[in-house]
Amino acid sequence: MKFENSNCAEDSIFFQAMEEVIYSISPLLESDPKYKRYAILERLVVPDRVIKFQVTWLDDNNKIQVNTGYRVQFNNALGPYKGGLRFHPTVNEGVLKFLGFEQILKNSLTGLPIGGAKGGSDFNPKGKSDFEIMKFCSAFMTELHKYIGPRIDVPAGDIGVGSREIGYLFGEYKKITSSYDGVLTGKPYMFGGSLMRPEATGYGLVYFTQAMLEHEKKDPLTGKVCTVSGAGNVAIHTIEKLQEIGAIVVTCSDSEGMLYDSRGVDLKLIKEIKLERRGTLKEYLEVYKDVNYIPVADYPDGGHSVWTIPCYAAFPCATQNELTEVDAKNLIANGCVSVSEGANMPSTPKATELFLTNKICFAPAKAANAGGVAVSEFEMSQNASMQKWSFDMVDERLKETMTQICKRVALTAKDYGVEGNYVDGANIAGFKRVADAMITEGI
């Protein structure tokens, strides 16, 4: 395959994601000629369109600031383009292509009618005032609104974009279009947001892990020591569900460092620090002076201190490539039984390979973190029918969806002779559904 227009440095992360999928699905491509005949792979790895725009806004000192905004509409064979927006200084076209590509297969695995997309900006929300966030979101939507719609493309949150940002984006969309549409998901409840959308990715990750451990005949999580990285939306709700089922979560981390609390972390305090004060985990030490806090500068060479802590199950929930070969070796040496990816592609290819060869129960992101986008689709459903589902109803459907994804992935792996390999199972099952839709709709 040729990628003549590719910016190789930016695209390397996209190639990493693509390479894994191509490797996994090669037995399917060899066994059924229709996928080659319809050039599905060639068509699937190129986005339908990449929208790139300037975002100009005024900071609190009335100084003009300029950022770049993007929306990568990757594939809509199964439904409207669907996927989050990321606001982080590391955002570029390559990162969004990797995330959009993964989103196609993830959304396909949910069995729901949603295509794949991703967007965002290199805007850094850190240290910005509420008004600056609002002004940035308004400026971003001034351009984005032209390309989205409840049947066209429905963005949501991701790193740096939570319900505050979605609220401002929704407000601006409504102002420009005069239309009260379900054009974004993860909206505040008062604008038609679904109950449990904030919790969905983390809760879904735990439901998937429970189903996987049961299927693989391993001990359940109750009473087990678990390690989590990150301290944002996904990490916090993963910790919350793990604690609710009686697991002991001893770590979390942010971009400045990690904390290890062997008694089990105090989630109420973490929520206060990270969600209310938007502070750093170091502030945990102001309450618990004896806790182990390790700044990023003191992490092991090429690794992350969270993964040096012995655990039964590990949950990387911060960002891509945060769990390296060094980390995988540490986890395996310390007797870790299960690794579930809450973040998108947090394990490097070498780490993934080590988990698979060492028969660790390994839940890849596109299957394990699909609970967020699944509840986003539930939100679209509720908006379209003007209904409000109860917390219990959303929770029940989320649990059912995650259990079904786990079953489908495990069964596909078995069918293709790689029993227990959830990476290949997820890639084949996700690819198959979207590829069959592409064949059915013609070119």
Catalytically active residues are: 118
Whose Cβ is closer to ligand NDP: residue 159's or residue 259's? Answer: 159
Is residue 319 at the binding interface for ligand 2IT, with CB under 6 A as the rule? no
Residue count, binding to ligand 2IT (CB under 6 A): 12
Task: State how far the Cα of 194 lies from the Cα of 120, in Å rounded to an integer.
Answer: 22
Q: How far is the CB of 235 from ligand NDP (least distance, A)?
A: 6
Site for ligand NDP in 194-233 (CB under 6 A): 201, 230-233
Whose Cβ is closer to ligand 2IT: residue 194's or residue 421's? Answer: 194
Site for ligand NDP in 111-170 (CB under 6 A): 157-160
What separation, in Å, do the N-terminal and C-terminal C-alpha atoms of the chain show? 19
Binds ligand 2IT (CB under 6 A): choice among 120, 372, 425, 430: 372
Q: Which residues contact 2 (CB under 8 A, 6 or more apart)?
A: none
Question: What is the enclosing helix (H) or strand (E) of 436?
Answer: helix 422-441
230 binds, among ligand NDP, ligand 2IT, none (CB under 5 to 8 A by kind): ligand NDP
Whose Cβ is closer to ligand 2IT: residue 165's or residue 261's? Answer: 165
Task: State how far the Cα of 132 lies from the Cα of 246, in Å rounded to an integer.
Answer: 41
**Contact track, ligand 2IT, 105-134, x by CB under 6 A:** -x----------------------------
Site for ligand 2IT in 338-357 (CB under 6 A): 344
Task: State how far the Cα of 16 lies from the Cα of 22, in Å rounded to an integer.
Answer: 10
Q: How far is the CB of 319 from ligand NDP (least distance, A)?
A: 4
Contact 82, 116 (CB under 8 A): yes
Is residue 364 at the binding interface for ligand NDP, with CB under 6 A as the rule? no
Binds ligand 2IT (CB under 6 A): choice among 83, 202, 303, 425: 83
Q: Which residues contact 411 (CB under 8 A, 6 or more apart)?
A: 425
Report H helices in 4-129. Answer: 8-31, 34-37, 40-44, 93-109
Other Cβ atoms within 10 Å of 59 Cβ, number = 14
**Contact track, ligand 2IT, 179-198, x by CB under 6 A:** ------x-------------
134 binds, among ligand 2IT, ligand NDP, none (CB under 5 to 8 A by kind): none
**Which among 247, 295, 237 has a CA at the least distance from the CA of 271?**
237
Q: Which residues contact 86 (CB under 8 A, 6 or more apart)?
A: 95, 96, 99, 118, 119, 120, 121, 158, 159, 160, 161
Most distant CA pair in the chain, distance: 64
394 binds, among ligand NDP, ligand 2IT, none (CB under 5 to 8 A by kind): none
Which residues face 185 on adjacent strands? Answer: none
Task: State how far the Cα of 184 lies from the Cα of 2, in Å rounded to an integer.
Answer: 35
Q: How far is the CB of 83 from ligand 2IT (least distance, A)?
A: 5
Binds ligand NDP (CB under 6 A): choice among 185, 340, 347, 369: 369
Q: How far is the CB of 413 from ligand 2IT (least distance, A)?
A: 22
Is residue 342 at the binding interface for ligand NDP, with CB under 6 A as the rule? yes
- Residues at the interface with ligand NDP (CB under 6 A): 157-160, 201, 230-235, 254-256, 317-319, 342-344, 369, 372
